[in-house]
Structure 1
Amino acid sequence: MTSSQQEAVRSFDGTELAVHRMGAGRPVLMVHGLFSNAQMNWIKFGHAQKLVDAGCEVIMPDLRAHGDSAAPHDPAAYPDDVLAKDVAAVVEALDLTDFDLVGFSLGARTAARAVIGGLRPSKLVLSGMGLEGLSGWNNRAAFFIDAIDRFDDIKRGDPAFMTVAFMKTMKVDLVAGRLLLQSVADTRPDELAALTMPTMVLCGDQDNDNGSATRLTETLPDAHYVEIPGTHMGSVTEGALGDALVEFLGA
């Protein structure tokens, strides 16, 4: 098994981002989901290793306020689209010119925003994401902000119980997390015309957390839909996720 190497990249505003790298070959930039990190989303369940075995170099940043990256408490560190700006900064810092881009959940939103902002991966994967999840972020953000605000009072049976349990497992910085949730920009359906590269929409068969993946597929210029087993969180644990990535991206 290939071990990951960690390095630090300075983003556009000087915030330090931890970037984990594995393998050698065609670069695949992978962006994790909300309150997760590269280790949990891509390494733990073997998805990164499968891509390495297929001849890829896997590049996995921890988003700001996540993992080993900085989690500033200054509201000025969370301008609109800050995560898309961070992804662009990683691409620039590592001098990536011919690469593929993968995102899961918030990472898929971030990947889409980065492409709308001018990033040009050769192939794109939007995983754990539907059309409504791109255009209706405020409702999703309100749920997570409420979970943070009631963090110490939420009991089993509350709709936010599993979210809070995951945040506790991941040792989320609540101040930074709350600020980050307010920085994610919505994406209008017409903006998706910018996603012209071949795209795979990859989603669990029981995952409706971010709306309709099939509707998202139909909206994109050059996309196909792949369904794997699992709920939103459960699909990350499925080997089928890594298999689908290899089939679409393998060198």
Structure 2
Amino acid sequence: MTEIHTSHLESFDGTRLAVHQCGAGRPVLLLHGLYSSARMNWIKFGHAERLAAAGFRAIMPDQRGHAGSAAPHDPAKWPDGVLVHDALALVEALGLDDYDLVGFSLGARTALGAVVEGLTPRRLVLAGMGLESLDNWDDRMVFFLDALDRFDEIGPGDPASFVVAFMKTMKIDRTAARLLLQSRFEIDRADLARVTMPTLVLCGEQDRDNGSPHALAEALPNARLQLVPGGHMDSVTKPELGAALVDFLT
């Protein structure tokens, strides 16, 4: 297996972020999903290794409040759009000027928001994402806040049982998780006109958790859609997702 190197960088407000890297060559920044981690989304199922073998340098931060990165309890450390600000800070700190950008679920929303705010990757991949999830942050987060409120009461059969089980597996800091949910993060659909680089909307065939990937691809100026096996939680475990990343970025 390709060796993973881990370092830590300070974001725009001094918050410490863990950054995992493997491979050498063209940089590709990969942003994981909500309550997940770089290891869970990109390393565990071989996607980073596949990218490294294809001549890429996979750069995989743990997002603020997740895994090896700091999970501050100070509300001031969670301004609106904080993950977008982190992405901008990472690109600057790493000195990236010619690179690709990939995100899954919340990471895709973050990547898209960062492009709207000025990042200019050569190519962009939005995985596990649909159009309706861009501007419904408040509505979408109600479900997750409820899961945190009832964290110790939820049992089998409850609609929130799966997400709570995943949070427990990932050892999520519940205070930081709540603060992230309470920091507003919406993208105006009119701003999609700024996303002019070649873009791949990559989604599981059964995944509509974040809305329609078809509508998202149609709304972007220079995008195409590719479907891979699985739903929202398991498409990222499939080798087809890693293969699609390599094919598009190559």
TM-score by length of 2: 0.99
The aligned residue for residue 75 of structure 1 is: 75
Partners of 1:37 and 1:203 lie apart in 2 by 19
Report the RMSD for the aligned CA atoms in angstroms: 0.6
Partner residue, 2:112: 112
Structure 1 residues 162-221: Cα deviation after superposition (integer angstroms, max 9, x where no partner): 000000000000000000012241112101111111000000000010000000000000
3-state SS, counterpart of residue 17 of structure 1: strand
Query: Which whole-Å deviations, capped at 9, do the CAs of 1:110-133 have from their partners, x for residues lacking one?
Result: 001101111111100000000001
2:15 counterpart of 1:32: no
Match of 1:90 in 2: 90
Q: Is 1:62 matched with 2:62?
A: yes
Q: 2:243 maps to which residue? A: 243
Q: Give the whole-Å Cα distance in 2 for the aligned partners of 1:226 and 1:135.
A: 23
Moved over 4 A (4+): none
Closer, same or farther: CA 112–184 of 1 in aligned 2, 3 Å? farther
Please tell me whether the aligned partners of residues 4 and 20 of structure 1 are also in contact (alpha carbons under 8 angstroms): yes
Work out the percentage of aligned pairs sharing the same amino acid. 61
Any conservation in 2 of the 1:83–1:184 contact (CA below 8 Å)?
no
The one-letter code sitting in structure 2 at the alignment partner of 1:53 is A
Q: Number of residues paired by the alignment? A: 250
TM-score normalised per structure 1: 0.99
Instruction: Flag structure 2 segments of 5+ consecutive residues without an equivalent.
Output: none
What is the Cα deviation at residue 136 of structure 1? 1.2
Report the secondary structure of 1:135's partner residue: coil
Structure 2 Cα separation of the partners of residues 136 and 196 of structure 1: 23
CA distance in 2, matches of 1:156, 1:194: 44
Gaps of 5+ in 1: none
Aligned to 1:190: 190
Quick check: 1:146 aligned with 2:146? yes
Q: Deviations over 1:225-245 (max 9, x none)?
A: 000000100101100000000
Matched, 1:199 2:193: no
Q: Does 1:16 align with 2:16?
A: yes
Moved more, 187-196 or 198-207: 187-196
- Rounded to whole Å, the distance in 2 between the matches of 1:235 and 1:195 is 25
Alignment CA distance shift 1:180-1:187 (3 Å): same
